[in-house]
Amino acid sequence: MATSTGIWLRRETAPNEQRTPLVPGDAAELVAGGVRVTVEESAHRAFPAVEYEMAGCRVVPGDTWPDALPNDVVLGLKEPSFASSALSHRHVFFGHAYKGQGGGPGLLRRFTAGEGTLLDLEYLTDDTGHRVVAFGYWAGYVGAALAVLQHRGQLIAPLTELTRPELDGRLRGSADGARALVVGALGRSGQGAREALAVAGVPATAWDIAETRDLDREALLDHDILINAVFATEPGTPFLTAADVARPGRRLTVVSDVTCDVTSACNRLPIYQQVTDWAEPVRRLHDVPPLDLISIDNLPSLLPRESSVAFSHSLLPQLTALMSRRAAVWNRCEEHFHHALRMMTSNK
């Protein structure tokens, strides 16, 4: 893997995205270690540019990342804007391109055109295959919180950014007797979901691999709220089907799909085709009995400061390793990228 000369932090262009993978305090540590950090201006980032300037970073206009030096690592969260269709640098972000997602081939073709490399944050793993950085905890927390508020009839659209004390204050309302099921309960997202349910005073049933190997569909449908927090890497038994949605005696009324693998072959909830968003966070899938769906693909953005601080803290040692060639985890990322390119070429 080539030596890097610096890190270029892009602004995010996706709607309602105030998160950042690198907060000013951690950027200051990189600068102190001799890393050149360039930060694009952003009107939406939860941390203003002046905080990065005080940390010793160079601040530049937004969407100027194509001007980064050839060996710079361009860092972000979502796919870069189309200011340059071809991607010629090493880019670090969540690509969502390796599991059959709809936009995957187009993104990979951008890298092919520019001879760049994607180091996908979703595939930044240790020697045992476990992810070393993720927003999962806060995704699960927010996903479960929204499900509880929807079940209580208290979810108000459009959604806006919050702090954790504000969200917890809304959760600590009167108990309504709801029972929740968290699938993928032992992972980061599952842990966050269970914590939010505990704050809300909602009893939670915890399922993980053992409980879903032979799915008890009747038990699943006998809960009021379902939180899907499973990180699936291969196809498997759906947790809900069209027949379950239409079942007359179903108790289940709210589904929060934290995973949002809707366009992937690994999707465990093939009961809908499009995610929801901040403007319309809930979609009614069935009227009698009612079944509401929450499937927002940037849940941690509702708590942008908390989720960014936690993520950046986990990413900092990995960025340090990337800058100093101690990059085994990044080598694995690069291997996944080249494998995806080969698979795309072979499937033509």
State whether residue 115 is helix, strand or coil. coil
161 and 288 in contact (C-beta within 8 Å)? no
Torsion angle of C-alpha atoms 260, 139, 20, 65, degrees rounded to 10: -10
Continuous H helices in the chain: 24-32, 49-54, 104-114, 136-151, 164-171, 188-200, 209-213, 217-221, 242-245, 304-323, 328-346
How far apart, in whole angstroms, are the C-alpha atoms of residue 341 and residue 330?
17
The residue annotated as part of the active site, out of 96, 99, 223, 336, is: 96
- Pairing mode, strands 180-183 and 117-120: unpaired
For 241: left if phi > 0, alpha if psi spans -120 to 50, otherwise beta; the answer is beta
Residue 28 corresponds to which tokens in the numbers above?
């200051």
Annotation says 313 is catalytic: no
**Do 145 and 139 contact (CB within 8 A), yes or no?**
no
**DSSP code of residue 84:** S
> What Rg, from alpha-carbon coordinates, does the chain have?
21
CA distances 198 to 141, 143, 163, 226, 239, Å, are: 10, 13, 18, 15, 23
Q: Is 78 a catalytic residue?
A: yes
- Residue 294 parent element (H or E): strand 291-294
Total residue length of the chain: 348
Please, which residues have CB within 8 angstroms of residue 317's CB and are 6 or more apart in sequence?
none
Catalytic machinery residues: 78, 96
